[in-house]
Amino acid sequence: MNDLLIVTWLLFGMGFSSNWQQEPVIELDSDKPTIRVKAIDVPNDSGNGIIISWDDLSNFKVVSYEIFWSLDPQVIHTDTVKSQSNKSSLKNDAKKYWQSLATVGNKTDSKVFHNAQPGIAYYFKILAKGTQTTVTSNIVEGFSKAQWFDRSKLSILVLGGIICFSVIFFIQVARKGKKLFVRKIAGLEAIDEAIGRATEMGKPIVFVPGIGDLDNVQTLAGLTILGYVSETIAEYDAKLDVPVCRSLVMTTGREIVKQAYLTAGRPEAYNENIVRYLTDEQFGYVAGVNGTLLRDEPATCFYMGAFFAESLLLAETGNRIGAIQIAGTAMPSQLPFFVSACDYTLIGEELFAASAYLSRDPRQLGSLKGQDVGKLIVMVTIVIGSLTATVAVWTGNESFNWFVNYLKTQIFI
């Protein structure tokens, strides 16, 4: 019956008009639609999404599909055609008129409706458009629901939980007085030497905490090192200069330096202008710091924090004036620049370990030990994954392939 209708319409359309706007929509038997639509809730979301998917069983060549939604299933079907033929007549009231969600190509079989409200019933239907024919689907009801737990992140929760637990466990172990071994970090060992050199030469020390703001954990790591550096500088009676490019970093930096001078017993040597604001502008900041480096010729430069394109501009200028340079960042793309231009570089995790390493606080050292458990898990997984992938290639066994894919897609997303 459906085929007959389509053929009739094709003949009719070919004979009289090629203008699709005048084509009537073929009303299909709603019990046996040729396009079957399903509407299901988007999993693991805040209740804003419904996935509309369809199976096209019609036997004519579809050019595109148009997806419609409404808040009432009783909206009459001809409104669709009306909205198609004359866009100006398309009303925004979803209780009275079908609203066009999107038009997609003939190879697409699903679309997500993003503007759903949890618990409200939405109705969807599809219009399949051919060169001559237009076919409608059945109308389906769909609900969205907000989830309390994102199941796709279960593996992250478990792995993160294990690592967090190990960190807390080793902090407790360290609190009880157990001695923990931490390997030497050359860059941090060299801090005292670098400050001593500047003191002997009577030249200032420049500390650059990066261009990140206080919401960046690298900036926080840099500021904790600033605390140690400024305390040592206060003890040695050297001159410190901290140009910053964020106002919040300036206020926090001042607190840290002030406290360091107090701890060192030299509050009179503290000057508020040690930590000074230059500009938020990336290259303006570089120009300012480079100007300082070339004019004051500091003996030692520290670069600790988040750096971007300015890393090499700063480090090369420091290198040119012959300063001892110690850098630390967790930006992988900037590490090669620091390694080539600086005397010592704290690579990634060493920056975050610095405060624990320098303070020698057993609780902080314990957290480093907990971090090692995470590394152990990663190492074991890499070895297992590599072996399994190799065996899968050799044997072509599907189980091994499944396991490798599971690791890739479920565990390490």
Window 286-325: residues binding another protein (CB under 8 A) = 286-287, 291, 295, 309, 312-313, 315-316, 319
Helix (H, G, I), strand (E, B) or coil at 243: strand
CB of 318 vs another protein, minimal distance in Å: 11
Phi first, then psi, for residue 306 (nearest 5°) are -95, 125
* Comparison of 143 and 277: residue with beta carbon closer to another protein: 277
Q: How far is 138 from 113, CA to CA, in rounded Å?
A: 17
Pick one of 133, 300, 371, 388: the residue that binds another protein (CB under 8 A).
371
Region near another protein per CB under 8 A, out of 123-131, 145-153, 297-305, 393-401: 145-153
Cβ neighbours of residue 2 closer than 8 Å, sequence gap 6 or more: 26, 28, 29, 32, 34, 58
129 lies in the site for another protein, by CB under 8 A = no
Q: Among 76, 201, 339, 380, which residue interacts with another protein (rule: CB under 8 A)?
A: 339
Could you tell me the smallest distance in angstroms from the CB atom of residue 86 to another protein? 35
In the bound complex, what is the minimum distance in angstroms from residue 194's beta carbon to another protein?
A: 20
Out of 36, 82, 197, 258, the residue judged to bind another protein by CB under 8 A: 258
Q: How far apart are CA 46 and CA 316, in angstroms?
A: 48
Residue count, binding to another protein (CB under 8 A): 85
Structure tokens at 225: 């090192």
Q: Which is nearer to another protein, 283 or 402 (CB)?
A: 283
Q: How far is Cα of residue 184 from the mean position of the Cα atoms in its chain? A: 32
Least Å from the CB of residue 273 to another protein = 6
Does 177 help bind another protein (rule: CB under 8 A)? no
CA-atom Rg of the chain in angstroms: 33
Interface residue with another protein, options 212, 246, 299, 325 (CB under 8 A): 246
Query: Residue 111: which H helix or E strand, with range?
Result: strand 110-113
Kindly state the smallest distance separating residue 282's Cβ from another protein, in Å. Answer: 8
Closest CA to 226 of 267, 190, 275: 275
The single residue among 164, 186, 380, 387 that binds another protein, judged by CB under 8 A, is 164
Kindly compute the dihedral angle of the four CA atoms of residues 99, 105, 108, 111, in this order, to the nearest 10 degrees.
-20
- In the window 186-225, what residues touch another protein (CB under 8 A)? 213, 215, 217, 220-221, 223-224
User: How crowded is the C-beta side of 30, counted as CA atoms within 13 Å?
Assistant: 6
Question: Identity (one letter) of the amino acid at 5?
Answer: L
Q: Which ranges of 101-246 does DSSP label H, i.e. alpha helix?
A: 154-175, 186-201, 217-236
312 φ/ψ angles, rounded to the nearest 5 degrees: -70, -35
Q: Are 280 and 246 in contact (CB under 8 A)?
A: yes
Among 24, 119, 160, 267, binds another protein (CB under 8 A): 160
Candidates 4, 15, 59, 149; binder of another protein (CB under 8 A) is: 149
Helix (H, G, I), strand (E, B) or coil at 169: helix
Interface with another protein in residues 48-77 (CB under 8 A): none
Residue number, 137 or 364, with CB nearest to another protein: 364
Residue 113 near another protein by CB under 8 A: no
390 binds another protein (CB under 8 A): no
